[in-house]
Amino acid sequence: MESPEKPVIAQKSSLKMVMEPGTYFWCACGRTAKQPFCDGSHRGTAFIPQKVVIDETRLVAWCMCRHSEKGYLCDNKHREL
């Protein structure tokens, strides 16, 4: 039996960014060259980018290890990797 695909760990810390209102697509596979946003590098994998809608300007701690139980939001799971 084949093992499930694992995401690429871009870094073992969050990426904090002040985000303007808008719609963003967070890269779930970790392969993107445009971290933390999807650039289509997941094609051919089981990963699907996560749609993120920001309603007001705010600081976002993007998950860069791709192991957060909160999806795109860092929950410090990288400390366990």
Per-residue model confidence as pLDDT tens digits over 5-61: 899 999 999 999 999 999 999 999 999 999 999 999 999 999 999 999 999 999 999
Asked if residue 55 belongs to a domain, the reply is yes
Domain count, the chain: 1
d(C-alpha 80, C-alpha 59), whole Å: 24
Domain assignment present for residue 62? The answer is: yes
pTM of the full predicted structure? 0.91
Residue 43 resides in a domain: yes
- Give residue 1's pLDDT: 40
Give the range of the structural domain holding residue 25, as residue numbers without chain letter.
15-80
27 CB-near residues (< 8 Å, 6+ apart): 34, 35, 36, 37, 38, 39, 41, 42, 49, 66
